[in-house]
Structure 1
Amino acid sequence: MKRNQVRDLLAKPRTAYRSLYTTEQQETIHGFRSKRRVLGVDGVVVVAFNESARKRQARDYERAKERFLATCQSVAAKMSKPHRGRRSTVQSVTERIEDALPPKWRGAFKYRVGATLDQDPPRFTVTGWVEAKREAELKEGFGKTVVFTDRVDWTDEQIVRTYYARSGMEEEFHILKDVLLMPVMPIFHRRDKRIRVHAFLCVVGLLFYRWIQRRVEEATKERVPIEALASRLDRIQVVALARKGSKKVKVVLQKLSTEERQVVEAMHLARFVPN
């Protein structure tokens, strides 16, 4: 169910929740149920709440917010001054801002790109802000999961446990459909043997991501979705530094964010940097 369909349930105070069970990570899951009729089907809506997940989401949100606003300020500072090189356009400036927009929270992050018409080359104004109302709605839903089912005979714990187990499988199917991450389709092979090898490599890649995910979770005590993990890995880069007048080259990791450093430390990636 969409969050805007159950805003009244998400707004209920913590006193409405009761303890359901404790996960393997020693995180307590709370929840409550409410009868609802959805698309002509009578059933129950169970709202589950995880305080640890709320803290993680709130922390990730604040980091994404800080990154977005910092990007807007950085781009605005650069675009307000004349510079050499390829001429910027509204589209190119917009693309730089879009790269800093987190997909799941983009509804709260807004920006405006404008260009002066009386200057050649044109100067650009970039403004970024956060909608307070939308931000409040997002924060109200942090750590909460809404589940609708017609299995009214199930307990709240059964419903929540089943949903969480199913969401893990759905994540894997979603990854195998991702065009850039681990695509099973399209298959550019005609022979059955090669198709089987292609599918096998995709599954091995998925298992490898799961292994990295488990290592990071053990080190940070936080669950990181595979897509977010892949994004962090993609941002980890090395650079070669050479001093003027010296033939020696020093290879170092680029400046890392807190999230990226957690991955580097959990996987001991620094040992692969030659120095």
Structure 2
Amino acid sequence: MPSLTKKVIRGKPYYYLRECQRVNGHPKIVSTIYLGPPQSILDRLMRPEPLRVAIYEFGASAAVWDMAQAIDLLATIDRHVSKRGSQGPSVGHYLLIAALNRCIAPCSKAQIADWYQKTALHRLLPLSSGQLTSQRFWDNMERVGEKQIAAIERDLSRAAVSRFGLDLHCLLFDATNFFTFLDSFNAGAKLPQRGHSKEGRDNLRILGLALLVTSDGEVPLFHHTYAGNQHDSVTFHSVAEELFERCRSLTHGAYDITLVFDKGNNSKENLEQVGDSPFHFVGSLVPTEHKDLLSISRKVMHRLDPTQLPAVCSYRTRKVVFGIERTILCTFNQELFDSQTQTLAREIAKRKRKLQKLRIRLANRRNDSRGKAPTVEGVQKKVKEILRGRHLADLFAVQVRKKRAGLPRLSFRFRDKAYQQLRSTLLGKTLLFTDRTDWSDEQIVLAYRAQHHIEADFRRLKDPHYLTFRPTFHWTDQKLRVHAFYCVLALLLLNLLRRKLAKAGIPLSVVKMMDTLTDIHEVTLLYPAGSGSKKPFVRTVLADMDPVQRKIVETLGLARYRSA
């Protein structure tokens, strides 16, 4: 039987654990374990060494899970899409996991199980790794059609508006596109098409995405995926009725809504549709199509409220556009003028250097020089490439002629008069039009400037760290629509979360918010089982947090999601 033995060495007590047994009829010490001084024994009893330590990402997982519960996301999806069987995760589980992954650490479906096991979601939304294979995701995504997506989004938008009191007086509509890596010979997918890529990837097939978002918190209320080669104005026309119906359903008959869209959505048919609806609009005009408005001198413009719009002037008039007389606002922004002037000056200097370099190379060319001799057509094509860009071709007078020896020569001059004309008429100006005759100039300009909210959403969807639309890893139109849907769901969750924190006095960008949340970790310590127990003792704590993290946890009430 073990016994505790005390030894005093140089005036200090030390303890040993000894076990004595009878051997051959005589007592004998068969085991001696050194325990150490009393303080060392106390430390080990009160603070035992854990057998294992596990660290999980907690902050972001708990925050977006909480927001998903606030709008009843899981139940809403399951209400519109039935399960494949009576057991196992529902379609809602898979779309929710996909959306949460896009919020926190976007990855392919094959990698989601590994990511999931490293987060607090493995406890908040318990699923096995076998249930999170890419094939399971694809099988469940297959069950979600366009009608279900529209119905789910409609209900979630209503829940977001009702739960968070979103202001719907100013709604923003715009479209963008995303490049994909679909094979050119994949004829089955009709949505990805070659067209003008807004990310400069014209060599790839692109997919279009249109959004309707609130100016209050940039919360998406409606989305539409379309073929990448479709013009924005055609897209607006195709979704206008559905867009208006969504607005009606969200406002319950209160129609004081102003839609804001940019000039890419302009067409006579689109403006007629908006005019036939009960909603108002603010849009912009293509400046070069209204030279009479550009000729308005800054001297006749009046200064707008400097507290709201510093360095902005405007001139208000009426003009028939797209067949109807509208209120027109010609604005001049000094900051925009300075920025555009600097950019144009840089591009002009760059083109001058390239043209001069080409001129010298042609002048030094001789008939007996090696290589293929340049031609007039080839040089003209090169000049056209150099002067590609807005306004640049109009600012240079270029002549390519053939000398007697048959070699082309280049001469050029900068058109300073055209440059001064550009500065006095176009740079710094924006042409706005609206049916809000009751609004002041400041209200019209501020409404149009709210367009930056939807542009910010598009930038977030192209951010490689959070919310990124890529990677897609889907090859059919149906899967691409579902992929776009849960990306928009992720955008909905994060913008609602950011808005909630801002109203609580914690204003953060989405990136800063997610960086802060993902750095909050949950630490699980596994200790040896106590006397008379086979079950090890488990203790879970949150890692040290900075003041901002503590305030976020307190504001969102995330402590309730800690493991007991």
Instruction: Give the corresponding residue for 1:81.
Output: 364
How far 1:145 moved relative to its partner? 0.8
Query: Closer, same or farther in 2 for the Cα pair 1:124/1:6, shift >3 Å?
Result: closer
Question: Helix, strand or coil for the counterpart of 2:450?
Answer: helix
Question: Helix, strand or coil for the counterpart of 2:433?
Answer: strand
How far 1:21 moved relative to its partner? 4.8
Query: Closer, same or farther in 2 for the Cα pair 1:69/1:144, shift >3 Å?
Result: same
How far 1:46 moved relative to its partner? 0.7
CA contact (8 A) 2:397 2:415 kept: yes
- Percent of matched pairs sharing the same residue: 22
Query: Closer, same or farther in 2 for the Cα pair 1:51/1:70, shift >3 Å?
Result: same
Q: Distance in 2 between matches of 1:84 and 1:197?
A: 55
CA contact (8 A) 2:311 2:333 kept: yes
Larger radius of gyration: 2
Letter in 2 for 1:166: Q
Match of 2:413 among 129, 145, 159: 129
Q: Deviations over 1:145-174 (max 9, x none)?
A: 11122221122122112223337747988x
Q: Does 1:46 align with 2:329?
A: yes
Instruction: Give the corresponding residue for 2:438.
Output: 153
How far 1:48 moved relative to its partner? 1.5
Match of 2:383 among 91, 94, 97: 97
How far 1:77 moved relative to its partner? 0.8
Question: Helix, strand or coil for the counterpart of 2:419?
Answer: helix
Match of 2:297 among 9, 12, 17: 12
Structure 2 unmatched ranges of 5 or more:
1-284, 462-468, 491-564
Q: Deviations over 1:217-243 (max 9, x none)?
A: xxxxxxxxxxxxxxxxxxxxxxxxxxx
Query: Closer, same or farther in 2 for the Cα pair 1:94/1:146, shift >3 Å?
Result: same
Q: Distance in 2 between matches of 1:152 and 1:125?
A: 57
Instruction: Give the corresponding residue for 1:110.
Output: 397
Instruction: Give the corresponding residue for 1:139.
Output: 423
Q: Distance in 1 between matches of 2:382 and 2:428?
A: 30
Instruction: Give the corresponding residue for 2:447.
Output: 162
CA contact (8 A) 1:21 1:30 kept: no
Query: Closer, same or farther in 2 for the Cα pair 1:169/1:100, shift >3 Å?
Result: farther
Query: Closer, same or farther in 2 for the Cα pair 1:146/1:93, shift >3 Å?
Result: same
Q: What TM-score results when the alignment is normalised by the length of structure 2?
A: 0.29
Q: Distance in 2 between matches of 1:194 and 1:37?
A: 41
CA contact (8 A) 1:18 1:32 kept: no
Superposition pairs for residues 1-275 of structure 1, below 5 Å? 1=285, 2-3=287-288, 5-7=290-292, 10-14=295-299, 16-21=301-306, 27-82=310-365, 83-106=369-392, 107-116=394-403, 118-119=404-405, 122-140=406-424, 141-166=426-451, 169=454, 189-190=475-476, 192-193=478-479
CA contact (8 A) 1:20 1:156 kept: no
Q: What TM-score results when the alignment is normalised by the length of structure 1?
A: 0.55
Letter in 1 for 2:402: A
Instruction: Give the corresponding residue for 1:215.
Output: none
Question: Helix, strand or coil for the counterpart of 1:103?
Answer: coil
CA contact (8 A) 1:108 1:134 kept: yes
Q: Distance in 2 between matches of 1:123 and 1:171?
A: 52
How far 1:137 moved relative to its partner? 2.5
Structure 1 unmatched ranges of 5 or more:
177-182, 205-275
CA contact (8 A) 1:111 1:129 kept: yes
Question: Helix, strand or coil for the counterpart of 1:35?
Answer: strand
How far 1:188 moved relative to its partner? 9.0
How far 1:199 moved relative to its partner? 9.1
Moved more, 122-131 or 74-83: 122-131
CA contact (8 A) 1:90 1:115 kept: yes
Letter in 1 for 2:374: S
Query: Closer, same or farther in 2 for the Cα pair 1:85/1:46, shift >3 Å?
Result: same
Question: Helix, strand or coil for the counterpart of 1:142?
Answer: coil
Q: Distance in 1 between matches of 2:457 and 2:434?
A: 22
Q: Distance in 1 between matches of 2:397 and 2:437?
A: 41
Q: Distance in 2 between matches of 1:5 and 1:194?
A: 40
Which structure has greater helix proportion?
A: 1
Alignment: residue pair count:
189
CA contact (8 A) 1:189 1:195 kept: no
RMSD between superposed Cα atoms in Å: 3.8
